[in-house]
Structure 1
Amino acid sequence: METQASKKATSLKLTNVGSLPIRTFWITSIAFFICFFAWFGIVPFMPDVVRDLGLTPAQKWNSIILAVTGTVFARLLIGKLCDKFGPRLCYTFLLIIGAIPVILIGFVQTPLQFLICRLFIGFIGASFVITQFHTSIMFAPNIVGTANATSAGWGNLGGGANRLGMPLIAAAVVSFGVADEIAWRYSMVVAGVIAMLMGLVYYFFTKDTPEGNFADLRKSGQMPVLKKDEESFLSVLKDYRVWILFIVYAACFGMELTVYGTMDDYLQNTFGLTRSMAGNIVLSFALMNIFARTLGGFFGDRFGKLKGLRGRVIFLTIILAAEGLMLSIFSMATSLTIGLVFLIAFSLTVQMAEGATFSVVPFINKKAIGSISGIVGAGGNVGAFLAALFLKLKSAMAETNALEANSHLGEEAMKAAQSVAAAGAVSGGYFVIGLFVVITALTTLAIKFSMADEKAVAEEMERELALSGGN
């Protein structure tokens, strides 16, 4: 019987689609892209939704919070399900079931119905965990960080590409005679149907592991039956390294979501940019995920080859600290040119830090990669929620004080004072967040691996490379 190790990919040859790991890489990356595309698909249409459903500002903000909240719980659950049932079935059901609220949001008639749909649409954000799990068990230690980072970058790309893609779908819908003001409804239905069809593709064209599906492997005795699943999950919860990575991912992916979610207004208020120009800048940084996250995984693998598992942790520490410094320096910039330089540097380092995080995750506990990926992935959304809440409260207080102090002046003067106050509050918030990221970077040095872990990974890497002929 050939071992699973002999079928793992030791290189990321993207054109070798005849290889099961590479085919799985492409399918899971595309599925992830579609999930994020659908998850954030409503964002470009929010002005239309507000007019159509009569949403209040509070309801609009609540819909954003609910979408993130649903993802946190879904990520925690899906990781454990992956360990038990395998990524193939989990992704199939997530795509098909997750497509239902995406389709239903096109039929909502009240703000409450809209909020409920946004909550359940957030569940498809758990696709990140399955993607990381599937690539983790398809690729050998020498390349797993690069594979994880590249596939994850596709998902984040989907979250930015919807700014271009969804309006194009809406335009196509309108060309068939649909009224422009309700085109958003049809566009969401189209996105949901695409996600549902992708679920069928995942079921028929992927396998759980290079050796086959979990169910078949357990029947043949090639994979142990998880009789003590609860104990295994408990051991994950007790591992301090998992919670350090939880905070680390909050400090990178969470901060990316928060910063880019507030950057449009910040660029307008601080540097006087138009909304269109600010939006295009933020979109360009989202598109950097195509390569930046891959770089994080690549260098994680390089450091791993040179210094073992400890090397992966060292690189994560370095790149996370760089992220925090770039954000803090950007927050103090008063020149647009200097600001953009450090904003680009922040975008590059934060996405590299995300890739570096998941070059470490697969080595914490190989028997519970799904559970660990779920917990760490949830950390990103928790970080985004807390950071957004911090900036919102800080900004609201500053704006209120500015309006009260300038209430005796004209409306234009009050608005100008409000913009200045908001920019100053967010700037100070970014600086504090940057310091938090730097402190978090230092905590990663507490992540330790035993000599037995180091030896096992080195032997697996040597065996995989030998069996693949070093390719």
Structure 2
Amino acid sequence: MSAERFNLVSFTGKMKVLHLSWMAFFITFLVWFNHAPMLQAMAASLGLQPSEIKTLLILNVALTIPARVIIGMLTDRFGPRIVYSALLAVCSIPCFMFAMADDFAQAAIARFLMGFIGAGFVIGIRIVSEWFPANELGTAEGIYGGWGNFGSAAAAFCLPVIALWFGGDDGWRYAIGLTGLISLLFSFVYYQNVTDTPKGSTYFKPKHLGAMEVTSKGDFFLLLIMKIPMYAAMALLAWKLSPAGVSMLSETTVLLCYVGLVLLYIYEVSHVWKVNKTVFTEEVPELHRYEFKQVAVLNILYFATFGSELAVVSMLPLFFAETFDLSPVVAGMVASAYAFMNLMSRPGGGWLSDKFGRKPTLLILTAGLAVGYLVMGMVDSEWPVWLAVVAAMVCSFFVQSGEGAVFAVVPLIKRRLTGQIAGMTGAYGNVGAVTYLTVLSLVEYSTFFLVIAGTAVIGFIALLAMKEPKGHMTEVNEDGTVEMISVN
């Protein structure tokens, strides 16, 4: 850990790493949501139907489910510096592909591949946890997540203007291509300017790369259960692309997808068994145990918080445009108010967790989230636009503060598994997004918001089972010595 003072205006040491990391995350969100504010222009240019537009929204978050798990494992194994730099460079390619798409099929493939960049978030969670002590961790992770998440608001606010500046039917293409170029260039900046840990610190790596480690029999089965919703979300996507949905895939292809997902789950179960079979024959020393229940609760909470944010950021410009008959540019700017709250809300959630405890903060924010979406479900054309914007911003405060509070806990469970835990919890956010966007494709806007409120209530109930992090977590150095890492 770096012992220097927490100073936001500094650009040295741990603060330099924090600033460059949130910038990298900002760019991933700028790229990931570069389509949302220009859906109407894209639809006109490519001749897209409403069902195809909603399918693009689902495709945009689908690949991020397995990607966050994979990227989490790679981060733990190879370090954040290399993995973040590579992700930014590689994901510029589907961004350029999307900018040059000529029809729905090409746009859909590029949008699906671009979902991989949404995994960037979990990389920064690990590197920030390496540089900041526990009493600053919630605030630092909140700044990383909140300021980085603002990339979606920047996309909503700036890209329509850039598209208009370029002008013509292809203005949206130039705006989207520009975000890909930014991503490519910043990959080199990040690689040259960060290190995985402060000088002299140990970067703890997991014992196994193929699956997450658990420390009890009960946790083994809970891990397998918690894997199922991720596969179910991908099956849901396949169904959406089937003849029962938008007919992008044939019935035979969709059936093969279902079979493939089942086989993949069985394969993953075998890896989980290979990594963790010793828990059935010998007891893990108490010093080295952690409770996977903590991870499961955080997964559910992130399903409701980040899952709803992803879904709402994707649909809110369209919601305001249709509900209040606004132009695409004005609707995009108005909708950006929801994501704009990230600048303060997510750091605020982390700061509250540092000051007042992880669990009490999460309980209050989750309750507020449920009420916020209940109010959003009541918004209609009779409301003044300004009041609808206020309702969206208040709801956004609880959503994004909740996200900050969730990831104030994630790095305090097991240091060497932080990437994998962040990857799984982050993936649940995308499971939530796929679920909510699928619901949106079937129901009215008001029902969509009420469904999110209901899942927030479920998250509140699950949260009662979480334990407040206390004491220390332990890791073993290469020389066999035990290192105690404070979580208070």
Question: When the two structures are superposed, what TM-score results if normalisation uses the length of structure 2?
Answer: 0.75
8 Å contact kept, 2:71–2:423 = yes
Cα distance in 1 between the residues matched to 2:389 and 2:204: 53
**How far apart are 1:246 and its partner, in Å?**
0.9
Query: Which of 159, 162, 174 is the aligned partner of 1:186?
Result: 174
Amino acid corresponding to residue 253 of structure 1 in structure 2: F
**How far apart are 1:107 and its partner, in Å?**
2.7
Query: Which of 136, 144, 153 is the aligned partner of 2:146?
Result: 153
Change (3 A) 1:391 1:170: closer
8 Å contact kept, 1:317–1:442 = no
Counterpart of 1:104 in structure 2 is 97
> Greater CA deviation, 248-257 or 184-193?
184-193
Cα distance in 2 between the residues matched to 1:110 and 1:261: 20
Map of 1:20-419 to 2, 5 A cutoff?
A: 21-171=14-164, 173-174=166-167, 180-211=168-199, 222=202, 226-230=206-210, 232-233=212-213, 238=223, 239-264=292-317, 266-267=319-320, 272=324, 274-275=326-327, 278-303=331-356, 311-332=357-378, 335-336=383-384, 341-395=390-444
Question: What percent of counterpart residues are identical?
Answer: 32
Runs of 4+ in 1 over 6 A off after TM superposition: 454-459
Cα distance in 1 between the residues matched to 2:137 and 2:124: 12
8 Å contact kept, 1:32–1:131 = yes
**How far apart are 1:278 and its partner, in Å?**
4.8
Question: When the two structures are superposed, what TM-score results if normalisation uses the length of structure 1?
Answer: 0.78
Cα distance in 2 between the residues matched to 1:432 and 1:44: 24
> Greater CA deviation, 227-236 or 358-367?
227-236
8 Å contact kept, 1:94–1:124 = yes
Counterpart of 2:453 in structure 1 is 434
Change (3 A) 1:50 1:379: same
> Greater CA deviation, 64-73 or 250-259?
250-259
Cα distance in 2 between the residues matched to 1:143 and 1:225: 23
Amino acid corresponding to residue 280 of structure 1 in structure 2: M
Cα distance in 2 between the residues matched to 1:338 and 1:284: 12
Change (3 A) 1:173 1:317: same
Amino acid corresponding to residue 16 of structure 1 in structure 2: S
Amino acid corresponding to residue 47 of structure 1 in structure 2: Q
8 Å contact kept, 1:71–1:123 = yes
- Which residues of structure 2 form unaligned runs of 5+? 224-291, 476-482
RMSD over aligned CA atoms reads 2.9
Cα distance in 1 between the residues matched to 2:205 and 2:361: 36
2:442 is paired with a residue whose SS is: helix
**How far apart are 1:370 and its partner, in Å?**
0.3
Change (3 A) 1:223 1:427: closer
2:91 is paired with a residue whose SS is: helix
2:464 is paired with a residue whose SS is: helix
8 Å contact kept, 1:83–1:369 = yes
2:443 is paired with a residue whose SS is: helix
Counterpart of 1:443 in structure 2 is 462
Change (3 A) 1:320 1:93: same
1:364-418 Cα deviation digits (max 9, x unpaired)? 11120000001111111111111222233123xxxxxxxxxxxxxxxxxxxxxxx
1:90 is paired with a residue whose SS is: helix
- Which residues of structure 1 form unaligned runs of 5+? 175-179, 304-310, 396-425, 463-471
1:437 is paired with a residue whose SS is: helix
Amino acid corresponding to residue 111 of structure 1 in structure 2: F
Q: Which has the larger radius of gyration?
A: 1
Amino acid corresponding to residue 129 of structure 2 in structure 1: S
Cα distance in 2 between the residues matched to 1:63 and 1:429: 18
8 Å contact kept, 1:8–1:210 = no
8 Å contact kept, 1:80–1:233 = no
**How far apart are 1:338 and its partner, in Å?**
6.2
1:211 is paired with a residue whose SS is: coil
Change (3 A) 1:429 1:188: closer
**How far apart are 1:335 and its partner, in Å?**
4.8
Cα distance in 1 between the residues matched to 2:37 and 2:450: 29
